[in-house]
């Protein structure tokens, strides 16, 4: 983000550039193919049209991130430059995928960029006091901040523990090998 160059085309037979956020002073270097099959749905901060943007691309955009000052470049719910402006690449022959950088499944109208904005889920597990024992097989989600006041957290079972708000002031975190921790918008903070 905020780098001097976004995408640089080198000696390749054909570039394939889709669903990218380019937040830089010089978004594209060298000539990109003017063909939506290869280049489309890109969003750039520059006030300049370019073949690599594509006919569904966006230029002169401002992007709103969760906390760019602290390198959290997840899209904020108020973003107007990339949120819901992407295209579904799940069945694309050149770059087929269905998830975002956090491993969360994309759905509906895709966002441009590596992150798919996901509305925070309701807490499916809660903490009251003492050592917090979480069974990951419950696929627990925590979306409200938790202060453990020096107590330990123990994650057992096989499944997922999704953290969408910070868990702070914990003693030790004991995690079973089969429990996947997904931090998105929050995580363990000391």
| pLDDT tens per residue across span 18-54 | 888 888 766 666 666 677 777 788 887 876 666 567 7
What pTM was estimated for this model as a whole? 0.61
| Pair 149, 130: CB distance under 8 Å | no
What are the angstrom distances between the C-alpha of 66 and each of 18, 107, 145, 169?
A: 23, 20, 16, 22
The confidence band for 155, taking pLDDT boundaries of 50, 70 and 90, is very high
- Give percent of the chain with pLDDT exceeding 90: 21
Q: Write down the pLDDT at residue 112.
A: 92
| pLDDT tens per residue across span 81-115 | 999 999 999 998 877 899 998 888 898 899 999 98
Three-point CA angle 119, 115, 160, nearest 5°: 65
């Amino acid at each position: 983000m905020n780098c001097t160059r976004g995408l640089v085309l080198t000696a390749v037979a054909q570039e394939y550039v889709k669903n990218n956020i380019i937040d830089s002073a010089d978004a594209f270097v060298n000539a990109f193919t003017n063909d939506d099959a290869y280049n489309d749905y890109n969003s750039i901060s520059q006030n300049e049209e370019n073949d690599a943007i594509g006919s569904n691309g966006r230029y002169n955009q401002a992007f709103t991130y969760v906390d760019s000052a602290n390198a959290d470049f997840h899209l904020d719910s108020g973003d107007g430059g990339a949120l819901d402006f992407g295209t579904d690449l799940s069945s694309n022959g050149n770059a087929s995928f269905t998830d975002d950088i956090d491993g969360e499944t994309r759905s509906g109208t895709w966002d441009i960029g590596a992150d798919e904005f996901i509305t925070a889920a309701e807490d499916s597990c809660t903490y009251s006091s003492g050592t917090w024992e979480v069974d990951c097989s419950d696929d627990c989600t925590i979306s409200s901040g938790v202060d453990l006041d020096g107590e330990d957290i123990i994650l057992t079972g096989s499944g997922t523990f999704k953290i969408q708000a910070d868990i702070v002031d914990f003693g030790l975190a004991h995690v079973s090998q089969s429990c996947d921790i997904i931090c998105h918008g929050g995580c363990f903070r000391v």
